Amino acid sequence: MILVTGGAGFIGSNFVLDWLATGDEPVVNLDLLTYAGNPANLASLKDDSRHTFVHGDIANADLLDKLLAQHQPRAVIHFAAESHVDRSIHGPEAFVQTNVVGSLRLLEAVRKYWKGMNAEAAAAFRFLHVSTDEVYGSLEKDAPAFSETHPYEPNSPYSASKAASDHLVRAYHHTYGLPTLTTNCSNNYGPYHFPEKLIPLCIHNALTGKPLPIYGDGQQIRDWLYVSDHCSAIRRVLEAGTVGQTYNVGGWNEKANLDVVRTLCTALDELQPRADGQSYAQQITFVADRPGHDRRYAIDASKLERELGWRPAETFETGIAKTVRWYLQHQAWVDNVTSGAYRDWIGQHYGD
């Protein structure tokens, strides 16, 4: 049995689905179901006895104690987090509450649970914390990619809150001996991605005839990681990672935001052409840049390959084609999440 936090969100739900598709070990899935936590992501598991869903908050210490005592997990995989930079700029307190306070309470509950285990179970137990490359700050165009020893230089309330949670995980290992692992990933994309992030937003807007909003000049560079590759990396780190270590997870796909959207438009042109025969790229619109927008992230994932033999299976081109096909085939899911509140959010940040 494993316990997953945030398993109804984008990456968390993909991990739960992949986990149960590749093995039979049961999952207890704890999620608060905030705006991006969607139980529809897990609809295929409705009658699967291996999946136990619990609606609750990682900051609820009593609930955590109860779940750990009841289910006796051999590992905790911690995805639960507020994760959108724009939202953190407009409402940073929620990010501190979930990413810092919530992570602290989870760590404390897990520490007490782990201390009560017998020696064999305690030695095998793992706490795997899923984090982001944004904790490292921004890179110059020709600077080396982020390694695991790169200094932390977070530049947004979101990345600062994730950096704080990373430090807490490290402290719980060094102070209490808790057997922790941390992964810092690059930008994920793929199925079940809430349509406020760049790729799903532009797919949705393209198909509904709306502008494809690009911040600033569109030359902000990110490394892109297909979500199923991220899930396989987490499984590998959980299986064989060295306790107390951090592993960067990247797709070896550095792309400027504008190039990402152009590639997406090319895929849509092929798979679902516009009625007028024009390219979806004609809908690209440049909007005012976000405050403090980091210019470049790049992940050096060579440690993960060298020590654990992991590399991504997808290129950006194969991953984006799979992503576009998924959204075209799951319009009911898209319609379900694009509520009035979602449209209000998009209007607030990108204009009419």
- Give residue 84's pLDDT band: very low, low, confident or very high (50, 70, 90): confident
What confidence score (pLDDT) does residue 348 get? 61
**Tokens 């020590």 label which residue?**
307
Region 282-291: what's the mean pLDDT?
Answer: 93
The two structure tokens encoding residue 153: 């230089």
What confidence score (pLDDT) does residue 177 get? 98
What confidence score (pLDDT) does residue 35 get? 77
- Helix or strand (DSSP H, E) at 341: helix 340-350
What confidence score (pLDDT) does residue 195 get? 83
Which residues are annotated as catalytic?
133-134, 158
Question: Residue ranges per domain, the chain?
Answer: 2-187+227-251+293-313
Global pTM value: 0.93
- 38-52, 85-99, 332-346: which range is least confident on average? 332-346
**CATH assignment, 2-187+227-251+293-313:** 3.40.50.720
Share of the chain above pLDDT 90, in %: 87
DSSP-derived letter for residue 99 is: I
- Give residue 233's pLDDT band: very low, low, confident or very high (50, 70, 90): very high
Region 108-135: what's the mean pLDDT?
Answer: 98
What confidence score (pLDDT) does residue 197 get? 86
Model confidence at 256: pLDDT above 60: yes
What confidence score (pLDDT) does residue 67 get? 98
State the Rg of the chain over Cα.
Answer: 20
pLDDT in tens, 160-184: 999 999 999 999 999 999 999 999 9
What confidence score (pLDDT) does residue 345 get? 47
CA dist., res. 332 & res. 311, Å (int): 33
- Helix or strand (DSSP H, E) at 237: helix 227-240
User: Counting beta carbons within 10 angstroms of the beta carbon of residue 335, is it exposed (0 to 12), middle (13 to 18) or buried (19 or more)?
Assistant: exposed
Region 96-112: what's the mean pLDDT?
Answer: 98
CA dist., res. 125 & res. 224, Å (int): 31
The answer to whether the Cα torsion of 288, 294, 300, 303 is positive or negative is negative
What confidence score (pLDDT) does residue 352 get? 46
Bridge partners (DSSP) of residue 248 are 184
Tally of CA atoms within 13 A in the half-sphere of 324 that contains its CB: 25
